[in-house]
Structure 1
Amino acid sequence: MGRVEPAGAIAGSTKASWPEVVGWPAHDAALQISKDRPDVSISFYIGTGRWPPSPYPSRVVVVSDTATGVVVQTPVVG
């Protein structure tokens, strides 16, 4: 018997972006993302430059402002 959902995933959870966390402190945003999708990993980047591509389709990148530490881009899966 195989799994239908990844280990730790919430059944039926398909949330793939978090526009509501833009303007939040990066730590708080990560906590919300982890609550919504415990099956993804979270990477943090400071500044608005481009981040390296990920070999992991279950990664969420949280990009925050250098001076304030608040999220400046909508975090998305992938």
Structure 2
Amino acid sequence: MGRSVPAGAGTGSTKASWPEVVGWSAHDAALQISKDRPDVSISFYIGTGRWPPNPDLSRVIVVSDAATGVVVQTPVVG
């Protein structure tokens, strides 16, 4: 279920994870991520479905609860 270490971590001061948005609505989390990293795309996943097969340093994955739409896992670059 996701990565334990964000892909791209250690690439200087560029933000690679957003633990502060866990518990937020997926929409609000996406707005914050876009504000912090306008250079990445955002992919939304519900629950613990299938993950993309390869890391992508230009993508952030946001996982939310199906019933509430609340982010349930720290979004990370990759």
Q: TM-score, normalised to structure 1's length? A: 0.78
Q: Which residue matches 1:19?
A: 19
Q: Counterpart of 2:58? A: 58
CA RMSD of aligned residues (A): 1.6
Give the aligned length. Answer: 67
Q: After the TM superposition, list the runs of 4 or more consecutive aligned residues in structure 1 that deviate by more than 4 angstroms.
A: none
Gaps of 5+ in 2: 1-11
Specify which structure has the higher proportion of strand: 2
Unaligned runs of 5+ in 1: 1-11
Match of 1:44 in 2: 44
The one-letter code of the counterpart of 1:33 is I
Tell me which residue corresponds to 2:8.
Answer: none
Letter in 2 for 1:34: S
- Aligned-partner residue type, residue 15 of structure 2: K
Calculate percent identity across the aligned residue pairs: 91
Give the TM-score normalised by the residue count of structure 2. Answer: 0.78
